[in-house]
Amino acid sequence: MILKKIGVLSLAKVYSALMALMGLIFGLFFTLINFSLPTLSEMPGPYNLIGVWAIIFLPIFYGILGFVAGGTTAWIYNLVAKYIGGLELDFDKN
């Protein structure tokens, strides 16, 4: 079976969701680091909440970048697959 075309919007949405999840995981990691280091959590102003901002900002940022990267990847694959024939896939029918 040959994969001749990938839906651009389909791959963009899936990749966006996966990258947003990764952004959430990284945001949680940064929050844990921020609250575990006493010097960072005791700083005045917005610096003591950098981990909380990471939980909000990173999933959004990673999701947007994932959407663009997924759409671009599918679009480039579709262009290349026209000329070289696509990706050969082998599925087991069990």
CB 2 within 8 A of CB 88: yes
Sign of torsion, CA 3 7 12 18?
A: negative
Q: Where are the alpha helices (DSSP H) in the chain?
A: 8-36, 38-41, 50-84
Considering the entire predicted model, what is its pTM? 0.80
pLDDT band at residue 42 using 50, 70 and 90 as cut-offs: low
Q: What residue ranges do the domains of the chain occupy? A: 2-64
Question: Regarding predicted confidence, which is higher, 93 or 10?
Answer: 10
pLDDT over 70 percentage in the chain: 88
**According to the model, what pLDDT value does residue 31 have?**
85
